[in-house]
Structure 1
Amino acid sequence: MRDLTTEGLLDAVRAWVEIESPTNDAAGVNRVADHAEGLLRGIGAAIERTPGRDGYGDILIGRVQGTEDGPGLLLLGHMDTVHQRGTFGFRAEGERAYGPGIYDMKGGNAMAVAALQHLHAQGRRPRLPVSVMMIPDEEVGSPSSRAAIEAEALRHRAALVVEPSGEGGKFTVARHGIARWHIRTIGRPAHAGAYHAEGRSAVREMAHHILALEALTDHPRNFFVNIGIVQGGTHENMVPAECNAICYALVPTAAEEAELRAAVQALPRHDADVRTEVSPGLGRPPFVKTPAIQALYDHAAMLAAECGLPSAGERVAGGGSDGNFTGALGVPTLDGLGVIGGGPHTREEYVELRCLLPRTRMLARLFETLGAGVAGL
């Protein structure tokens, strides 16, 4: 892509979007990987592809040489979407384009690869080596890829994540974490009429636990605890012998994560004959802004302004991304470098066409300029 134009970039985005790839469709996700692999091979990237496991698609890495050796930049994107096949299709209307995953986050993937293609077509290269890492299962917490992401992150100077910009164009300098706990109570069944006294209600015990855990919510601290799924009992005329619940929490820092863990593990027994079991579920650790992240943001914001679309500022995001894993390791991580748009996870998911050209130019400039002595690296 020698010349960057809005029309050419929209065609590139469309090519990604029209390959439908819900997380649970490994074949579809792998078709996206095939597309990305072809683009990266076209610019001379060395390809590493790890076969998927546990029903998920492959992990794809394309390594692009820089003008300097040594640890480089990790560019993170994900290939999966939340939209099942046939939900809706690509369309462009006015100043927007719509499609499954166009905002979250195929638009950002397309821009990042286009930026590297642009440098290659002009005989230029990134200053540092760039590892383009495409993940197959981010929308469900990256269960099969987290270890690979963390291992890659520790080999790099910094991580750039092309998740969408938030709030009209803000870059993400920190993210709250997500904690999940699975809670199970086991009581004793009995006929709810003739032998009610012999039963021990697992649902009633769970009700105590729900009230205790949700009471931890502290909105001023952005610490939210929600019991969103509760399943218990098998018949209205039977004392319920089992109840299961999932606790989902937004944890802004490690302190709230520890507070929730302590509370879950210390849930009191209200009925001596009802047992409670707890186990952690998939989660994402929080990452906070550091001086190194601030330096990355300042540099990116300067380049964004030079490229014609200034950053709308910085933000702490509530939703998770694979940047949570890299940032929590202490690797300088700048997230939200992708498209401007809205409607994530809906049938009206869209990107604003005005962002495609300046944001792609900014990414190309980031690749060209980031290196030792710049932005704290």
Structure 2
Amino acid sequence: MTPGDLPTMLDDLEELVLCESFSSDHGAVAASAAVVATLGVRHLGAEPETLVVDGVTHLRWSFGAPRVLLLGHHDTVWPIGSLRAHPFSVTDGVARGPGVFDMKAGLVQLFHALRSLPSLDGVCVLVTGDEELGSPTSRPLIERIARDCAASLVLEASADGGALKTSRKGVSHYRLDVEGLASHAGLEPHKGHNAGIEVAHQVLAIAAMDGGDGATTVTPTLLSAGSSVNTVPARGSVAVDVRAVDLASQREVDARLRALTPKVPGTRLELSGGLSRPPMEAASSAALFKLAERIAAERGLGPLRGVAVGGGSDGNFSAGVGCPTLDGLGAVGGGAHAAHEHVIVEEMPRRCSLLAGLVAAILAGPA
């Protein structure tokens, strides 16, 4: 069967987008999972396992002993009611709507690609419900399955121009809390220990950890200090976002953050957080990308391009346990998480064909 009947794909896409699935709304995610399950049954002819972990609904289809893991998520960043301002539409070859690019079109492509294969023996499909929150409940599922697989193919949206994502930075999140001592800012400011000034010192120290070359980024983000305009701040905090190209750099920044010391006498520091996602290093995707290039050439899909990106995905977790991983195999378009989120619909059957070829080649390869 030829992968990718576009009219049917667009009908399926509309069905998914019209079921809003804001990550933080467990009821909405459960309803979305039911719609995804129905779509999967329609195309794969098999019911999924419904896995509810801490209230979050995930779906898994398993066909024999897993050799290739197909990863996707059905939750989105869009709050319930977003469809009113951003209705689903297909105009002039462009589909729009909440979550259409990240990553409901990718799910449609996944099901249509697998439907075209003569056998699914060795395929495992995992569609998670909390990727946009950092995958707190699905990470163990991903890692457990990936350890047994020869490859992981991630249906996250492509990079600009349809490029595949051949590496992703590791992600770490921290919060540095500062405890000082309050006093009256007018009557006796010298009796206080100013947590706001200490936060300022720490922000500069943290920012200095960024090498400036874009490889490893260390970014102070959310700041707070003080309780009123006439009080020496007793407490303050700064959030820190770290992106690292390899695990060694990620661990180095972690050690430097944990070695921070206070500068304002009488203040105290407490660091929380740590490594959230391991890096998906380029070596993890190299062989799969070469395979994808070969398949694209054989199927007349044009040359492929691979890029490194700073954002994280569930591909970080599969790569982190040693499973070869290729990401960005989903929709071609742009505007993830933004009002201009969109998908170029003519690319959907082409990406579907590429995915089908990749899965078939991996299944046909050595065990």
Across the aligned residues of Structure 1 and Structure 2, the Cα RMSD in angstroms comes to 1.9
Residue of structure 2 equivalent to 1:52? 53
Among candidates 112, 118, 125, match of residue 119 of structure 2: 125
Among candidates 357, 365, 368, match of residue 357 of structure 2: 365
Indicate conservation of the 8 Å contact 1:97/1:350, yes or no. yes
Structure 1 portions without partners, runs of 5+: none
Structure 2 portions without partners, runs of 5+: none
Q: Alpha-carbon deviation of 1:303?
A: 1.7
3-state DSSP of counterpart to 1:370 = helix
Indicate conservation of the 8 Å contact 1:308/1:358, yes or no. no
Q: Alpha-carbon deviation of 1:10?
A: 1.5
Q: Does 1:78 align with 2:76?
A: no
**Separation in structure 1 between the aligned mates of residue 357 and residue 304 of structure 2, nearest angstrom:** 18
Indicate conservation of the 8 Å contact 2:93/2:345, yes or no. yes
Mapping for residues 305-344 of structure 1, pairs under 5 Å: 305-344=297-336
**Separation in structure 2 between the aligned mates of residue 259 and residue 208 of structure 1, nearest angstrom:** 21
Q: Does 1:266 align with 2:265?
A: no
**Separation in structure 2 between the aligned mates of residue 3 and residue 169 of structure 1, nearest angstrom:** 18
**Separation in structure 2 between the aligned mates of residue 199 and residue 3 of structure 1, nearest angstrom:** 69
Q: Alpha-carbon deviation of 1:372?
A: 5.7
Q: Does 1:215 align with 2:205?
A: no
Indicate conservation of the 8 Å contact 2:4/2:348, yes or no. no
**Separation in structure 2 between the aligned mates of residue 366 and residue 239 of structure 1, nearest angstrom:** 61
3-state DSSP of counterpart to 1:216 = coil
Residue of structure 2 equivalent to 1:170? 163
* Deviation by residue 1:15-66 (Cα, 9 ceiling, x = unmatched): 111111110121221122112222333434352222131xx5212101135x
3-state DSSP of counterpart to 1:371 = helix
Indicate conservation of the 8 Å contact 1:307/1:359, yes or no. no
Residue of structure 2 equivalent to 1:113? 111
Indicate conservation of the 8 Å contact 1:45/1:63, yes or no. no
Residue of structure 2 equivalent to 1:237? 230
Indicate conservation of the 8 Å contact 1:13/1:111, yes or no. no
**Separation in structure 1 between the aligned mates of residue 331 and residue 135 of structure 2, nearest angstrom:** 22
Residue of structure 2 equivalent to 1:17? 17
- Please identify, of 276-285 and 87-96, the stretch whose mean Cα deviation from structure 2 is larger: 276-285
Indicate conservation of the 8 Å contact 1:37/1:62, yes or no. no
**Separation in structure 1 between the aligned mates of residue 122 and residue 360 of structure 2, nearest angstrom:** 10
* Deviation by residue 1:266-288 (Cα, 9 ceiling, x = unmatched): 11221231110001157211121
Q: Does 1:7 align with 2:2?
A: no
3-state DSSP of counterpart to 1:132 = strand
**Separation in structure 2 between the aligned mates of residue 109 and residue 38 of structure 1, nearest angstrom:** 12
* Deviation by residue 1:297-322 (Cα, 9 ceiling, x = unmatched): 11112222333433531111111100
**Separation in structure 1 between the aligned mates of residue 4 and residue 132 of structure 2, nearest angstrom:** 30
Q: Does 1:301 align with 2:293?
A: yes
Residue of structure 2 equivalent to 1:140? 133
- Please identify, of 192-201 and 252-261, the stretch whose mean Cα deviation from structure 2 is larger: 252-261
**Separation in structure 2 between the aligned mates of residue 64 and residue 46 of structure 1, nearest angstrom:** 11
Residue of structure 1 equivalent to 2:178? 185
3-state DSSP of counterpart to 2:256 = helix
Residue of structure 2 equivalent to 1:62? 61
Q: Alpha-carbon deviation of 1:369?
A: 2.1
Equivalent pairs counted in the alignment come to 363
Indicate conservation of the 8 Å contact 1:10/1:356, yes or no. no
Letter of the aligned partner of 2:263 in structure 1?
H
**Separation in structure 2 between the aligned mates of residue 151 and residue 182 of structure 1, nearest angstrom:** 29
Distance 1:105 1:282, change over 3 A: farther
Indicate conservation of the 8 Å contact 1:74/1:160, yes or no. yes
Distance 1:185 1:170, change over 3 A: same
Residue of structure 2 equivalent to 1:247? 240
Distance 1:284 1:165, change over 3 A: same
* Deviation by residue 1:201-226 (Cα, 9 ceiling, x = unmatched): 11111111110011111232522111
Indicate conservation of the 8 Å contact 1:170/1:311, yes or no. no
Letter of the aligned partner of 1:47 in structure 2?
P
**Separation in structure 2 between the aligned mates of residue 91 and residue 282 of structure 1, nearest angstrom:** 39
Q: Alpha-carbon deviation of 1:371?
A: 2.9
Residue of structure 1 equivalent to 2:345? 353
Percent pairwise identity: 34
Distance 1:307 1:15, change over 3 A: farther
